[in-house]
Amino acid sequence: MPTATIIEQWSEIERPPAPELQRVTLDPATTALLVLDIQYANCTIERRPRCVASLPAVERLLAAARAAGVAVIYSLVPHSEPSDIRAEVAPLAGEAVVRTGVDKFFRTELEALLTARGIQTVVIVGTSAHGAVLHTATGAALRGLRVVVPVDGMSADHPFAEQYVAWHLVNAPGTRRSATLTRTDWIAFSSRPV
């Protein structure tokens, strides 16, 4: 099929309905919050204003997670330092930081850190939704972890990328049985069953 025909067909595709968001209650002892690539270089009004807009929600979720005793792990793009992470969501002493490309499991100690803590669920926030969030969520699901992604905590250059990632996580064969979409304010931490 000629490329022009394929592109014409794409323009006629009817957009699927938005995925359903769910409230979740997570056990803090077996949950980790992954904060991916929210750095001064890529999270600016000029470069990625949607990331800047997500900062208050991520900051509130981070505070709630820390208060509940949830493990918090950060990621950076290669050649970055922890000081490059935005101050609003910066790591505290003792919180781990991994450095790699879009899949934060690739050539890092992330899997070992999660295994050592007995983590069964990861909550993933960050930028770029179609890079770090998508690929790390997929990597987590393929490792048997439950994946929770608050849509107001992931950002990209364009809303379509965020929409695609949300759709992908709950529809793709590698993630659909493991991924839950939510909002940052719909996540509760409690060791008591709900």
The tokens of 9 are what?
């067909």
> What's the pTM?
0.95
Distance separating alpha carbons of residues 99 and 180, to the nearest angstrom = 25
Residue 179 lies in a domain: yes
CATH of the domain at 60: 3.40.50.850
Q: Are 101 and 78 in contact (CB under 8 A)?
A: yes
CA–chain centroid gap for 51, Å, is: 12
**pLDDT tens profile 41-52:** 999 999 999 999
Does 2 fall in a domain? no
CA angle centred on 130, ends 52 and 24, rounded to 5° = 75
Name the residue with higher pLDDT: 17 or 144: 144
Q: Is the pLDDT of residue 194 over 60?
A: no
**Backbone dihedral region for residue 79 (phi beyond 0: left; psi -120 to 50: alpha; all else: beta):** left
Domain that holds residue 36: 24-186
Judge whether residue 148 has pLDDT over 90: yes
Is there a domain that residue 35 lies in? yes
Report the mean per-residue pLDDT for the chain. Answer: 95
Residue 54 lies in a domain: yes
Bridge partners of residue 185, in order along the sequence: none
Question: So what's the pLDDT on residue 3?
Answer: 74
pLDDT 10s digits, 67-105? 999 999 999 999 999 999 999 999 999 999 999 999 999
Any domain includes 94: yes
Q: How many domains does the chain have?
A: 1
What is the tens place of the pLDDT at every residue in 4-13?
688 888 888 8
- Determine, yes or no, domain membership for 194: no
Q: Is 16 a domain residue? A: no
Which whole number is the average pLDDT over 150-175?
A: 96
In what helix (H) or strand (E) does residue 188 lie, and over which residues does it extend?
Answer: strand 187-189
Yes or no: say if 150 and 182 are a contact pair by the CB < 8 Å rule: yes
Residue 106 lies in a domain: yes
